[in-house]
Amino acid sequence: MTDLPIKDLQALRAQYVDQREDVKKAAELEERDLNDTDVAEMERLASEIRKVDVQLKVKREDAKIAESAVMAGEMGRGAQNEMQRMSKRFDLAGALRDLSQGKRVTGVAAEWTEEAVREARGTNMMIKGQLSIPAAAFRAVGDAGEFGAGSGLTNSPGFVPTNVANGVAALAAPTLFETMGGRVLSGLTGNVSVPIVTTAATISEPNEGAAPAADANTAIGARTLSPNRYSAYVTVTEQLMLQGGPAVEQLITQDMVTQLNRQIDKTVFNTIIGTGDGDNTNPVSSAQLLVGEGALAGAGVNLANVRIIADSVAHGLLADDAIVSGVDAAINRSNVGSLSAMGYPYYVSDLLPLNGVAVEGSLIMADFNQAAVLGLFGGIDIVVNPYTLDINHQVRISVHKYADAAVLHAAAAYTFHDNV
- Domain locations along the chain: 1-72, 82-202+216-420
Residue 134, SS3? coil
Phi (first) and psi of residue 150, to 5 degrees: 85, 0
Mean pLDDT, to the nearest integer, of 202-231? 70
- Pick 221 or 298 by higher pLDDT: 298
Mean pLDDT, to the nearest integer, of 298-319? 90
Which of 89, 82, 84, 117 lies closest to 2 in space, CA to CA? 89
What mean pLDDT, rounded, does the chain reach? 77
E strands, 109-151, are 131-133
Question: Residues with Cβ < 8 Å from 29, sequence gap 6 or more?
Answer: none
Instruction: Find out whether 345 and 308 touch, Cβ atoms under 8 Å.
Output: yes
E strands, 31-87, are none
Residue 147 has pLDDT above 50, yes or no: no
* Residue 226 confidence (pLDDT): 85
Residue 113 has pLDDT above 80, yes or no: yes
Threshold 0.85, pTM exceeds: no
Tell me which of 1.10.3730.10, 3.30.1380.10, 2.30.40.10, 3.30.2400.10 is the CATH number of domain 82-202+216-420.
3.30.2400.10
* Residue 368 confidence (pLDDT): 93
* Residue 73 confidence (pLDDT): 45
Which of 220, 360, 341, 344 lies closest to 277 in space, CA to CA? 360
Residue 156 has pLDDT above 50, yes or no: no
pLDDT, one tens digit per residue, over 383-417 is 888 776 667 778 888 888 889 999 888 889 999 99
* Residue 152 confidence (pLDDT): 33
Residue 161 has pLDDT above 50, yes or no: no
Residue 69 has pLDDT above 70, yes or no: no
